[in-house]
A and B are shown apart, each in its own frame.
Chain A
Amino acid sequence: MSHATPGRISLDPRFAPPFPQAAEQMLRNPQLRKNVGHAIDVIQAKRGKLVVEKADWQELRSAASAIRFHVLDNLGAYLEQFEARCTAAGGHVHWAADAAEARQIILDLLRQENATEVIKIKTMTSAEIQLNPFLQAAGINAYETDLAEIILQLGDEEPSHIVVPALHINRSQVREIFARAMGLKNLSSEPKELTNAARTYLRKKFLTVPAAISGANFLVAETGTVAIVESEGNGRMCLTLPQTMISLVGIEKVLPRFQDLEVMLQLLARSAVGERMNPYTSLWTGVTPGDGPQNFHVVLLDNGRSRILAKNKERQTLKCIRCAACMNSCPVYRQTGGHAYGSVYPGPIGAILTPQLMRMKYARTLPYASSLCGACYEVCPVKINIPEVLLELRSQVVNQERKQAGRFFDLMYLGLRIANLIFATAWGFHAAQRMGRVGLRFFTRKDGWIHALPSIGAKWTQTRDLRGLPKQTFHQWWATRTKEGK
């Protein structure tokens, strides 16, 4: 089968290649870059207009940040409150310490219902725990119902964005996937025809499949309510038609009060898709007899989150409401798209979340996948200081390197260690400048520029020249000037 994105990269951080390597592969794909750039420009322009019209945008961000920090400070209490209220309303709450436990809980629940099929609302947590392949291996087919997720599932593609997961695929590629998977030879690439094809495909699933799986955007502790926002109505179908509903939710998603949704929903729709309000906001509390799913389960997923919670600088990662504004604003993501990050969580938030979920054992190149430009922090609706966390994680990576014997063969490591000695004294610095001038003379052309450097320097000169070192440093000039009595 031909893929819209050739050269598939694993989104399992344990098997994904290092970021620079994966990114280079993506950079060689003009179609992908065009699709990503176009999609992001559209979202960014829409978001920009809506932020400007909101006079209290910064106050909203501050409020959201305060709410999210308050939740993290009292997470245990709010989760227990949620559990009590949800249970009282007829729901069942399960606690999963890790991905394996969460998968098993969900499988057991589906087996109790004798389900062989399940429909799904787009959920990042299920991608995080790789639920679909697990269910398939256990004989249960999971059908995605979000349009973009259908495209990915039918095209055997990987998601490249957390809100618009198929943004790397354009309309004509969607047509190809649908035509092939649905057997519709005469399908055109008109949006109306494409959505109609998806609708026909979906309607059958909605009416026949007895169980559904969702994630959640928020849990409300005060009321035991689960909240999901979406654009297509597929979520509403999944939340009303099946008999059994299972919501897999990260433990950090809880909010204290119903009223807090006011702040969060204003920020989320604008940040995520550049809309004042998302078309469908579903809120449900436990079970309502005779209406909607009669078996309702919430699986609360830890999977490394409480470990992040315990860390002073990193815990702000858990404030995230998965709006993707950080990746939409990121100049790195803009070039590479999401697959380069080798994780279901790409972009700046993925660069800090993935290595932490992996206990810093995998994805160690991700904290370096940023120029630290700060655009992500500027747009983050809950004010996660992503650059600060990136720096913290980088220092953890370096501290790991300090213990490895191979560090003496790593030129970057050696260079920075030596540079530290050089910068410790003025004479050391000045001696290094003199040596550098002599050493670089060999590479400097007559026009005073360096066009090619060996070793690590080649990484610079592969695309840029470097001006040769001037004959006189500033401090030498200053010393001469002072001597001359100026």
Chain B
Amino acid sequence: MRASLFITCYNDTLFPETGRAVVRLLERLGVTLDFQPKQTCCGQMHSNTGFRGEAFSQAKRFVRLYQDAEIVVIPSSSCVAMIRDQYPGIIAELGNEALRKDFEALVPRVYELSEFLIDRLGVEDVGATFTHRVVYHASCHGVRVLHLGERPYKLMAKVRGLDLATLANVDRCCGFGGTFSVKNAEVSSAMLTAKLQDVLATKAEYCTALDNSCLMHLGGAMHRQYAGMKTIHLAQILASTETEAAL
């Protein structure tokens, strides 16, 4: 199977290890990966801040870059949510009929990582080993827009050695919200503190998620507070084996 990797601007710049883990994981599962070097950003930051005109150009760019891809895999739930939930409205507003048709043909082939593994590859056991206590943060867009549901839990259940902690108020936002974390920094921080209390109460070693944006927020506070917990994208856990440690 061939799949094209949309790594996202955020992961490319700040979390390249997540991208490398996705490559290691998917190649291990027999997927042939492409990487479209012209990729930049899905436009979520612009759209969510109200810069819709700017988001138009990113949406158009995404469709044009990937319209010929067999499958697009994206290790970021909020970027997939942007494409699936916001692109239809954005593209309708643009009134470009050809673009709309190409988008509609493309969107069923766009997968978030856990969707790709479970729905498309049909695997739950990816052959991973990660002998740590882990808490899973269910990112809002993964829960409420993509409806990822049990998928990440199914994957984690099959990871050897992984001790999954139960998180209270699992569906409550960590307070990141993109530019919200800066525009409303104080409220965002208060939400973060509340989230962190639940996360730290699990006494896990690692906090994982399918979205590095939440993890950057949680991880930034953990580092500031010497909290003794680290963040790690689920792809990195799934990529690690007995012989190859997590990236």
Contacts and interface: CB of A to CB of B under 8 A. Distances in A.
Interface string B156-190: 00000000000000011101111111111111111
Nearest to A368: B183
A470 interface: yes
Contacts of B190: 27, 335-336
Nearest to B217: A464
A460 B182 contact: yes
Nearest to A19: B184
Contacts, number: 195
B19 A426 contact: no
Given A23-B184, A335-B194, A465 B140 contact: no
Question: Secondary structure of the A side of the interface?
Answer: helix
Interface stretch (B32-40, B106-114, B128-136, B201-209): B32-40
B245 interface: no
A16 to B, nearest CB: 15
Interface residues on A, range: 35 or more
B228 to A, nearest CB: 14
Residue among B13, B144, B192 having the largest count of chain A Cβ atoms under 10 Å? B13
A473 B7 CA distance: 11
A378 B143 CA distance: 10
A369 B7 CA distance: 29
A256 B13 CA distance: 55
Given A369-B187, A375-B140, A473-B16, A465 B46 contact: no
Given A377-B144, A395-B52, A472-B16, A371 B173 contact: yes
Contacts of B171: 375
A473 B32 CA distance: 21
B184 to A, nearest CB: 5
Given A371-B175, A475-B35, A397 B180 contact: no
A255 B229 CA distance: 53
Interface string A455-472: 010011011111101101
Nearest to A378: B144
Nearest to B52: A395
Contacts of B40: 422-426, 429
Given A335-B191, A335-B194, A395-B50, 6 more contacts: A368-B180, A370-B180, A373-B140, A374-B141, A463-B221, A467-B220
Interface of B: 7, 9, 11-17, 19-20, 23, 35, 37-41, 43, 45-52, 54, 57-58, 61, 86, 89, 140-141, 144-145, 171-173, 175-192, 194, 216-217, 219-221, 223-224
5 contacts: A335-B191, A391-B48, A417-B54, A423-B9, A470-B17
